[in-house]
Structures are given as structure tokens and as C-alpha cells.
A and B are shown apart, each in its own frame.
Chain A
């Protein structure tokens, strides 16, 4: 295998694994804030018990998020040194800002959230939880800004030529508010809220099916459902405006997402497979004009097709198409599920309907898959560029790193992350089975 493919696989693997965790901490962060606010307002100890239980789950995801996140911070330099030199001014600034504004806030107050129940009052504890959630959101802000600059670069100029060319900031705020950053930030954050909310729904549904911790589960479920329905419905809005942005700023990506070959009124496909030879989408259901309608509110307006791009400027078509469609499909199912939950709640059947509870138990996987597929669509759809229109991914590699080195690190990552994931799932399962009661340390005897 060649260096480029291996390096891309390694980055994709490490970032996809990392991205299991931060959405959970962002989403659970919001839910913890709600639980502690309710505890402050009502002094009902059930809310405190809930906050403590979900904090234990939060801590587990947070630790792995930190450990796998440091890898990301270093990987730009190890594998993509040419890219790092090219974008240091911009991408580096966003990462540094993330460290200063987000990580310190988050990790500092996390100490109080986890270990501070007996050290500070409930108000200060609530404030700390709020700061942790805010820090998690800030971190999403800066990392999405950095990534959006790769998608839609703005506020910079290119200095130097050939190997010495680099992007330098001309306008910091234009760089931050580049054309895609705010749409994508909203879409990413709602995806994270969904991840947290559906985890809460899933665990609560599991308890209700087992008829354990019933009060705890009912109250958790209501809070989870409120966040789930808000985030899922808002995903329609943020997803739509992201897609409209892509049509304007990255037409090749949009054309790949929909398998749209010929410039002209665009059709929407519910599913299918892109056939590059015949230049069409095979199978599935086609809605003529709907793509144009969604973008321009006019079914006859032309949408730029892949015919406008030479072959070597096109992203992988079928892959991008499938990732995007998978995400949309799951997104729609999640909207339906959360609305169904609200309907049943209104009808007073939410906690008793066994088939709905069974679906909720598995629903936790929905946002996880949708988040992953969405990022794959966004990142693979940007290819062959690492910075859209400016720097090709194939030109961005480290010059000193060889295929064998990447193979070695990739094998190590595969082993270590597989183990980590197994332990994570095991411990998560144990914590869920243990339930909301406080954990005791019974084990205490001499080793040696």
C-alpha cells in the first residue's frame, strides 16, 4: 500500500475512534447541566442521584476522549508535516485557541464536577458543571472552525511559492467566520447533543424494561427525550443550511453527495449506488428536480454537476454518496423516533410501551453512526484537497516519514484502540448494570 493511502487510513481511523467520545461529553454535558439545575431548583435528591450517575458515565468517556485527543493534536505534525507548514498560521492558531479557551476550562472544572461534591456547595458545583459543558462546546467551536477553514478557506493570502508556499492570516475574523464554519458548527453540536440524549434514552429504556430504578429511569428519560427531540428536529435546519452551503462553496462535494453528473436541474435520490461509467445513479427512488428545489426553492434551476470538474478534481463518488445518504437516513429515523417518543409521552404510554423501549435501547447507536458517516461524507467529499482548491492531500504528507513507519504506527493503534474500546464497553456495561446507587470500594487488602 502506498504512503498516502496508509496515512489517510491512519488519520481516519484515529479521528473516527476519537470521535466516539467528544460528542458524548458535549451532549451529556448539556444533560448534566439540566439535571443539576433541576436539583438546585427543587432540592429533590433524585436529580442529584441522576447527576452523580451520569457524571460517572461522563468521566469514563471524558478520559478516553482526552487520551485519544492528544494523538490528534500531534498527528498533523507527524504525518502531515507539509500541511502543517502550509497552514500553521491558521490551523495552528485555532488549535492553540482551543487549548487556551476550551481545554483548560473543561479540565479545570471537571475536577470539581467529579470530585467536588463534598468540597464545594451545590451552587458552585452547578457552576462547575456549566463550565465543563461550556468548555466542551468551545472546543467544538475551534475544531470545527479549523476544519471548516480546510473546506472553505477565507481571510488569508498565500506567501511564497512551491515548497515554501504557506497560507498567512490577513483577517482573523474572516478566517474564524469562514463561509461554512457556523453552519457546520451548529450541525456538529446538534449531532453531539443527539449522541448524549440518545445514550440517556437508551439506558433509561433498559432500566424500564428490566423494571429497575423506575423513578430514576423515568425522569432521566424525560430529560433525554426533551434534548433528543430538540436536537433531532434542529438537525433538519442545520443539515439543510449546511447542504445549501456546500452547494455554493464546494459544488464538487455536493455533486458527489447526490451523484449529480450533468449540470442542470438536480434530482434527489433516496438511495442507490453511483455508477461512474454510466454517469448515473443505479437503482433506488429518484425525485426529479428535488435537489434544485431544496437548494434554490426552484425545481428547474440548474445545479452544477460533476461534468464541470476534471476527473482528478473529483472526490470518490460512490463512497461520498453512501456516507451522506446513510447519515440523512439515520437522521430522519432519529427525528421520527424522538417525535414518536413525545407522542407516547403525551399519551401517557412512554414508559410502558415495550417495543418502543426496545427500539430506544438500540437508538444509542443512531447518532454515533450518523456522526461518523457525516464526517466521512464531509472529509472524503473534500478530496482530493486537504485545503479545498489550494493544497492537495497527496502534496501534504511528511517528507521524512516512510510507508513502513506508518504501517507500524497504524498496527499499534489498531491493537491499542481495539483493547481500549473493549475495556470501555465492558466498564460502561458494568456501570449501567450497577445502576444509580453510589459505588463502594470494598476491595482493600494487602497485595505483595
Chain B
């Protein structure tokens, strides 16, 4: 297979959104579980487990959006204008959750803290759900015109398959977040969250299995590339192994390896999604000939090349910052004066 610039950019945008799913995935998941903890200290530990990193994690979404805008402007324009209300609901949820983290512990009143706890948790669940709904629609396909403009409305985005992918995303992030929280906590809270991990895995597996069946039955275009390249089934297999490995590592007390397994599960899921869609970026359903592909939606070759240079310069730096920050803030959360 000849690899061209468009494919490289499809991969790079995929990497940015995968980075987002791994990183913001766990802090959205921590948010989704937040209300299950009861005492103020527990909630502060939950918040501070993601405190130093959540805004860096959201940068992956911002940069992914920027990269999509630069490399595939038609996809950016069609998806964001087509999903208008859904995108704004997602933004409102992300805003509430972001400021809730910052505001919550700034005042001692119980009503104040409870209010922001709820904002944080509901915002996290709702954001995860909407991200899943958008992904579900991209997989299912949306009605496009010959000019690649969205031809449906807001309600037509909320079909059962998209809602199912939304739910699956919430479940995935809850599992991922629970494992992260296990890794960052100690004592009674650690044991409590550990006991949630199995439930979270079961919840996720049920959603995942249902979503997979639905995809095989009703979204056949997602399977075409896998049928043509059977070797890619390895991804599905690795994905299952990674998920199966999580309870094993938790049992052995190796929380960090459990988290790595969970990351591997997220990465393989994103890869399966990307390969399923490829070489389309947005499938038109009906009228597949109007689909946005990595070719008809892309910027000029010159722009892709310039941006590739920028990415090659930037990505090592980004990885260096990310790794150092996680290294500096490794270990269990301790509350101190600068904590949230």
C-alpha cells in the first residue's frame, strides 16, 4: 500500500483524538464517578487526582480540532455546522465541568460544594455521552448533500445506534477513570474504588458487545476494510486481551499496569473505529457517493506538507511535556495547601 500525505494526516488527526480519549477519557471518567464518593476529603482527592492534568488533557481536543480544521477543512466545516446544537451542548457541558473543578473548593459552604460537585459530575457524563453520539453518527453516516452539507436536523442525530455509542463511551470512560482513580488513591478510598472497577468493566463489556453486534448487523460499511485485511482482526483480539488483563492486574495490586491495559483498550478501540471509517471521514448515509473522504475534504498538498513539518517539530515536544508532567505528579494524591 502506498502511503500518501492524506493518509498520514488521517493518522495524525486520529492520534490527537486518541490522545484525547486516553487522557481526557480518564478525567471525564473520574468526573462520572465523582458523586459516588461521599465525604468532602474523598471528593477533594478525586478532584486533585486530575487537578494538575485535566486542562492539559483538554488541549488534545483543542489541537485535534485545529488539526482537523487545517488538514480536512471540509470535515471540520460539515461536522461542526451539521452537529450545531450537539456541539454547543458539548461545549456547555465542558465549560461547566471545567469551571466546577476550579470553583468547587474555593468556598466552604456545603451548598456551594455540592452544586459544583453535581456540575462536575453531570458535565463529565454529558460530555462523554455527546462525544459518543458524535462518533456514533460518524460511523453510522449522516445525510449529506452533493456539496457535502449536512441535510438532516438535530433530532435525526439521536437515533438508537448513536445513543448506544454514546452510552458505550460513558461506560468506557467510567472504567478508564475508575482505574486511574485506583492508581492515584490509597487507603479506604483506594479499596472502595477498586471494588467499583469490576462493575465498571462489566457495564462496559455489555455496552461494547451490544454496540459491536449492532455495528455488524446494521453498519456493514464499518467492516469492509477489516474483511479486506483480515490481519487487522488482531486489533480486536488485543483489545479483548487488554480488557481481560485489567481485573488480573488489579487483583495483583499492580494498579499502574491495570491503567496501561486500560489505555491499550482505548487505543485499540480508537484504531478499530478509524480503520472502520477509512478512507472516509464522514460517511454520507444515504447517498454514499457524497461522503467526505480523506481526499475530497483535504487541504492542499502544500499545506499538508507544511503542517507535517510543524507536527514533526511539535509532537516530540508535546510528548516530552506530557511525560514529564505525569512523572512529576506520579504517585498517590496528597491534599495540601495548594490543592483544589
A residues engaging B (CB < 8 A)? Answer: 52, 59-60, 62-64, 66-71, 73-74, 76-79, 81-82, 84-85, 87-93, 95-101, 103-105, 107-112, 114-120, 159, 163, 166, 168-170, 172, 398-401, 405, 408-409, 412, 416, 420, 423, 427, 430-431, 438-448
Chain B residue at smallest Cβ distance from A166: B73
Contact residue among B82, B92, B300, B324 (Cβ-Cβ distance under 8 Å from A416) = B92
Write the B309-332 contact mask toward A (1 if CB under 8 angstroms, else 0).
011001101100110110011000
Is the CB–CB distance between A446 and B39 below 8 Å?
A: yes
Contact residue among B40, B73, B94 (Cβ-Cβ distance under 8 Å from A89) = B73
Residues of B within 8 A of A159 (CB): 300
Residues of A within 8 A of B324 (CB): 108
Is the CB–CB distance between B39 and A107 below 8 Å?
A: no
Asked whether B269 is an interface residue with its Cβ less than 8 Å from the other chain, the reply is: no
Asked whether B200 is an interface residue with its Cβ less than 8 Å from the other chain, the reply is: no
Bound CA–CA A118/B310 (angstroms): 35
Is the CB–CB distance between A67 and B95 below 8 Å?
A: yes
Give B127 Cβ to nearest chain A Cβ, in Å.
Answer: 11
Please indicate which of the listed interface residues A64, A108, A445 has the most CB atoms of chain B within 10 Å of its own CB: A108
Residues of A within 8 A of B108 (CB): 441-443
Q: A96-B70, A108-B56, A169-B302 given as contacts; is B40 within 8 A of A447 (CB)?
A: yes
Bound CA–CA A416/B114 (angstroms): 19
Residues of A within 8 A of B79 (CB): 77
Chain B residue at smallest Cβ distance from A164: B147
Chain A residue at smallest Cβ distance from B314: A100
Residues of A within 8 A of B310 (CB): 93, 96-97, 100-101
Q: List 22 A-B contacts (CB under 8 A).
A: A70-B95, A78-B88, A81-B80, A92-B299, A96-B66, A99-B66, A100-B317, A111-B56, A112-B328, A115-B329, A116-B52, A117-B338, A119-B328, A120-B328, A400-B84, A400-B149, A405-B154, A409-B88, A416-B95, A441-B339, A443-B113, A444-B41
Is the CB–CB distance between B70 and A95 below 8 Å?
A: yes
Is the CB–CB distance between A399 and B81 below 8 Å?
A: yes
Bound CA–CA A444/B40 (angstroms): 5
Chain A residue at smallest Cβ distance from B304: A89
Q: Among residues 24 to 69 in chain B, which have CB atoms less than 8 Å away from a CB atom of chain A?
A: 38-41, 44, 51-53, 55-56, 58-59, 61-63, 65-69
Chain B residue at smallest Cβ distance from A86: B73
Is the CB–CB distance between B299 and A168 below 8 Å?
A: yes
Give B310 Cβ to nearest chain A Cβ, in Å.
Answer: 5
Q: Among residues 78 to 116 in chain B, which have CB atoms less than 8 Å away from a CB atom of chain A?
A: 78-82, 84-85, 87-88, 91-92, 94-96, 98-99, 101-103, 105-108, 110, 113-114
Is the CB–CB distance between B85 and A430 below 8 Å?
A: no
Asked whether B71 is an interface residue with its Cβ less than 8 Å from the other chain, the reply is: yes
Is the CB–CB distance between B44 and A441 below 8 Å?
A: yes
Chain B residue at smallest Cβ distance from A398: B81
Q: Which 3 A-B pairs have the closest CB atoms?
A: A88-B73, A77-B80, A99-B63
Is the CB–CB distance between B67 and A96 below 8 Å?
A: yes
Beyond A67-B94, A446-B38, 20 extra complex contacts between A and B, CB < 8 Å? A62-B55, A77-B77, A93-B303, A95-B69, A96-B69, A97-B66, A99-B65, A100-B66, A100-B311, A105-B317, A163-B147, A169-B302, A405-B154, A412-B88, A427-B107, A441-B44, A441-B335, A443-B108, A446-B39, A446-B40
Chain B residue at smallest Cβ distance from A417: B95
Residues of B within 8 A of A64 (CB): 99, 102
Is the CB–CB distance between B339 and A103 below 8 Å?
A: no
Contact residue among A84, A439, A444 (Cβ-Cβ distance under 8 Å from B69) = A84
Residues of B within 8 A of A405 (CB): 84-85, 154
Give B336 Cβ to nearest chain A Cβ, in Å.
Answer: 7
Contact residue among A68, A77, A163 (Cβ-Cβ distance under 8 Å from B81) = A77
Report the count of interface residues on B (CB-CB < 8 A): 81
Asked whether B337 is an interface residue with its Cβ less than 8 Å from the other chain, the reply is: yes
A-B contact count (CB 8 A): 256
Is the CB–CB distance between B306 and A169 below 8 Å?
A: yes
Asked whether B74 is an interface residue with its Cβ less than 8 Å from the other chain, the reply is: yes
Residues of B within 8 A of A448 (CB): 38
Give A274 Cβ to nearest chain B Cβ, in Å.
Answer: 36
B residues engaging A (CB < 8 A)? Answer: 38-41, 44, 51-53, 55-56, 58-59, 61-63, 65-74, 76-82, 84-85, 87-88, 91-92, 94-96, 98-99, 101-103, 105-108, 110, 113-114, 147, 149-151, 154, 299-300, 302-303, 306-307, 310-311, 314-315, 317-318, 321-322, 324-325, 328-329, 335-339
Main secondary structure of the interface of B (DSSP, over half): helix
Residues of A within 8 A of B62 (CB): 69-70, 73, 99, 103
Is the CB–CB distance between A104 and B67 below 8 Å?
A: no
Chain B residue at smallest Cβ distance from A82: B77
Is the CB–CB distance between A108 and B321 below 8 Å?
A: yes
Residues of A within 8 A of B107 (CB): 427, 430
Chain A residue at smallest Cβ distance from B68: A92
Is the CB–CB distance between A108 and B81 below 8 Å?
A: no
Residues of A within 8 A of B338 (CB): 52, 114-115, 117
Is the CB–CB distance between B95 and A81 below 8 Å?
A: no
Chain A residue at smallest Cβ distance from B67: A96
Residues of A within 8 A of B105 (CB): 441
Give A14 Cβ to nearest chain B Cβ, in Å.
Answer: 10
Bound CA–CA A400/B77 (angstroms): 10
Bound CA–CA A405/B152 (angstroms): 14
Chain B residue at smallest Cβ distance from A169: B303
Contact residue among B39, B106, B325 (Cβ-Cβ distance under 8 Å from A447) = B39
Residues of B within 8 A of A408 (CB): 85
Contact residue among A69, A88, A101 (Cβ-Cβ distance under 8 Å from B76) = A88
Bound CA–CA A116/B150 (angstroms): 47
Residues of A within 8 A of B88 (CB): 78, 409, 412
Residues of A within 8 A of B77 (CB): 77, 81-82, 84-85, 88, 398
Is the CB–CB distance between B106 and A99 below 8 Å?
A: no
Bound CA–CA A170/B302 (angstroms): 8
Q: A400-B82, A401-B81 given as contacts; is B71 within 8 A of A104 (CB)?
A: no
Is the CB–CB distance between A107 and B56 below 8 Å?
A: yes
Chain A residue at smallest Cβ distance from B44: A441
Is the CB–CB distance between B44 and A399 below 8 Å?
A: no
Is the CB–CB distance between B58 and A91 below 8 Å?
A: no
Q: A96-B307, A115-B52 given as contacts; is B98 within 8 A of A439 (CB)?
A: no
Please indicate which of the listed interface residues A103, A104, A423, A448 has the most CB atoms of chain B within 10 Å of its own CB: A104
Bound CA–CA A212/B63 (angstroms): 44
